[in-house]
């Protein structure tokens, strides 16, 4: 087991050895809908990337389900990407897109509350425990690898149980014609949350004019971190403090899920207008927008919460904890 964990811990180091420095050009870079001029704003660019919550493989957490795995190395990468997408949406909802994180600096209580939702504990509502067990209802055994669409379905279920009312849109795609559309969506749509894909690297956060993507890679294993005695979390390992990695967009597996956060209804209306104008005008469409539930689709039936022994319901149902962050009023998640 140790040799397996060591393999995944070393993946990110090996890849980084081949990473070139960012070129000194006049190119524009988009980080989750926010534009940076590479030549003059490189420090802001790097700061913007390091501010994103970074979830990776962890080990030595309590066994999932009581007797299951105590590490997600080798199978939890897509779940970690889903966590990153959801965490980014929560950051936008409660702290704003322009919020920045600094090492060793005291952070707002809302930030700590968001981070604690994702700790690897059965009583944290968006933990690896919650997501893995929710995946059982999607036909995935605990410890089995998830695809992008399955993760989107799991996030939607968790959102339904929390009664969110803002909107996070996940667009799942599986076709080689989508690369150009992904590039457009990275540049045109201002509300992007994240982009997990089927082939490493999984969590893509940016695009530039050279058709490269900057990404946060979950494929490194870190030790479980819990809440400290003062009620806060040491967050140093939840932010990527090394130089971010890059890849050519043509190396992206086309099986991906794009995430977009809409704080208000008008944001969703604007998103739909931009998609219709800039993305869906082509003959080959990667998805559709419709006004009503198509008649040939099966009726929508809200999923039942699976009966498992470690659901974390005591956290989700705690009024005191939810009221501090207003999680019960945050999002509705749609998958397209």
pLDDT tens, 6-55? 444 444 333 333 334 666 777 788 888 788 888 888 888 888 989 999 99
Residues serving a catalytic function are 77, 217, 219
User: What tokens were used for 10?
Assistant: 């070393």
pLDDT at 208 over 50: yes
Cβ–Cβ < 8 Å for 181, 286? yes
Q: What is the pLDDT of residue 189?
A: 61
Burial of 206 (0-12, 13-18, 19+ CB in 10 A): buried
Which range (13-17, 110-114, 137-141) has the least confidence?
Answer: 13-17
pLDDT at 164 over 80: no
The pLDDT-based confidence of 303 (bands split at 50, 70, 90) is: low
Cβ–Cβ < 8 Å for 19, 246? yes
User: What tokens were used for 217?
Assistant: 């890679």
The reported pTM is 0.80
Q: What is the pLDDT of residue 310?
A: 38
What region does 152 belong to: left with phi over 0, alpha with psi -120 to 50, or beta? alpha
Which range (8-22, 57-71, 175-189, 242-256) has the least confidence?
Answer: 8-22
């Amino acid at each position: 087991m140790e040799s397996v964990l060591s393999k995944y811990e070393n993946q990110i180091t090996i890849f980084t050895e081949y990473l070139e420095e960012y070129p000194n050009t006049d190119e524009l870079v988009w980080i989750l809908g926010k534009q940076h001029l590479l030549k003059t704003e490189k420090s802001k660019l790097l700061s913007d990337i390091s501010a994103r919550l970074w979830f990776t493989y962890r080990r030595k957490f309590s066994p999932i389900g009581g007797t299951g795995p105590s590490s997600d190395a080798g199978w939890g990468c897509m779940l970690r990407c889903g966590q990153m997408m959801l965490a980014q949406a929560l950051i936008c909802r409660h702290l704003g897109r322009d919020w920045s994180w600094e090492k060793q600096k005291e952070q707002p209580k809302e930030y700590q509350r968001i981070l604690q939702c994702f700790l690897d504990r059965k009583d944290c509502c968006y933990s690896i425990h919650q997501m893995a067990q929710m995946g059982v209802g999607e036909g995935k055994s605990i410890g089995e690898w998830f695809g992008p669409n399955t993760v989107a379905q799991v996030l939607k279920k968790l959102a339904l149980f929390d009664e969110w009312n803002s909107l996070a849109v996940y667009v799942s795609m599986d076709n080689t014609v989508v690369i150009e559309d992904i590039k457009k969506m990275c540049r045109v749509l201002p509300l992007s949350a994240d982009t997990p894909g089927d082939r490493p690297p999984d969590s893509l956060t940016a695009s530039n004019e050279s058709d490269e993507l900057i990404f946060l890679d979950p494929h490194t294993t870190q030790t479980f971190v819990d809440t400290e005695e003062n009620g806060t979390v040491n967050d140093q390992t939840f932010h990527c403090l090394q130089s971010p990695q890059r890849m050519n967009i043509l190396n992206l597996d086309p099986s991906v899920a794009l995430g977009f956060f809409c704080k208000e209804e008008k944001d969703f209306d604007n998103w739909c207008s931009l998609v219709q104008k800039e993305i869906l005008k082509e003959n080959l469409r990667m998805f559709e927008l419709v006004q009503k539930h198509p008649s040939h689709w099966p009726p929508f039936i809200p999923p039942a919460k699976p009966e498992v022994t470690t659901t974390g319901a005591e956290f989700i149902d705690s009024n005191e904890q939810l009221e501090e962050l207003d999680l019960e009023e945050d999002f509705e998640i749609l998958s397209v």
